[in-house]
Amino acid sequence: MTLRIPFFGLLGNRSPMDGLVEHYDKIAECIAAIDESLECYVSGGVCREFKELTKAVDEIENHADSIKRNIRNHLPKGLFMAVEKHLFLSYTKSQDNVLDAAQDALHWLAMRPVAIPEDIQKDMIYLLDSVAKCTVLLGPALKSTIGLLGGESLDREGTKECFRKVRRERDEVRRRKNDLQTKIYDKDIDFKDIYQLLHFVDCLDNMGHNTENCAELLRSMIAR
């Protein structure tokens, strides 16, 4: 029988789980930074200088990396972990991958100006909205899991429902991504534009994929 103690708060002034929330907040900050300007770029409007935007996102990602390193460098001994250490570290990596994918998406779009065909502009924006919604749903899932593990909540079913919401939105991201890729392939535009747009869409899809991975790892943390 494995003894699990609601313990993070007992081991020091600061729980490693608090660091995960701090790291997650960088994802929300990153999404907020790119959302409006990206919609503007896709629709061909007058928007914030894109290089300035990518620089801001790079700074957010660098800050998130420093938070991740701090979490990993100050973990309590394995005996006192509330969850398996490899689950904790895997979750940290997957959450960081969400930010990496966001950074890659912007770099692909900023590589060279692309005139996005009008009939796929809404699909691009809807895909981005769906990815943003998926990542937003991860926040309650993470906080609910922390509450359950720390003994502050007994709502196991409510926590599981948070995971299901992430999974359902991830399915929507996948559906939108597949439809959009088909439309992009069918466009009579320069191959370089097609290649660039497909990579951008893939990066957005990776954000959804890694967000779903995070939810699955949280589910494993509370599994009996």
Q: If you average pLDDT over residues 16-26, what whole number do you get?
A: 85
Single-letter amino acid code for the residue at 74: H
pLDDT of residue 59: 87
pLDDT of residue 215: 97
pLDDT of residue 8: 43
Quote the mean pLDDT of the chain.
84
Domain ranges of the chain: 16-222
Q: What is the pLDDT confidence band of residue 133, given thresholds at 50, 70 and 90?
A: very high
Token look-up 């981005």 returns 128
Is 10 a residue whose pLDDT tops 50? no
Percent of the chain with pLDDT over 70: 84
pLDDT of residue 43: 63
Is 62 a residue whose pLDDT tops 70? yes
Is 211 a residue whose pLDDT tops 50? yes
More confident residue, 179 or 26: 179
Query: Which pTM was predicted?
Result: 0.86
C-alpha neighbours within 13 Å on the C-beta side of residue 131? 32
More confident residue, 152 or 49: 152
Encode pLDDT of 101-132 as tens digits: 988 988 888 888 888 898 998 899 899 899 99
d(CA 8, CA 54): 36
Q: What is the pLDDT confidence band of residue 49, given thresholds at 50, 70 and 90?
A: low
Percent of the chain with pLDDT over 90: 45
Is 11 a residue whose pLDDT tops 50? no
Token look-up 């998926």 returns 134
More confident residue, 54 or 137: 137
Question: Are the C-beta atoms of 197 and 123 separated by less than 8 Å?
Answer: no
What top-level class would CATH report for the domain 16-222?
Answer: mainly alpha
pLDDT of residue 4: 44
The number of beta carbons lying within 10 Å of the beta carbon of residue 199 is: 16
How long a stretch of residues is the chain?
224
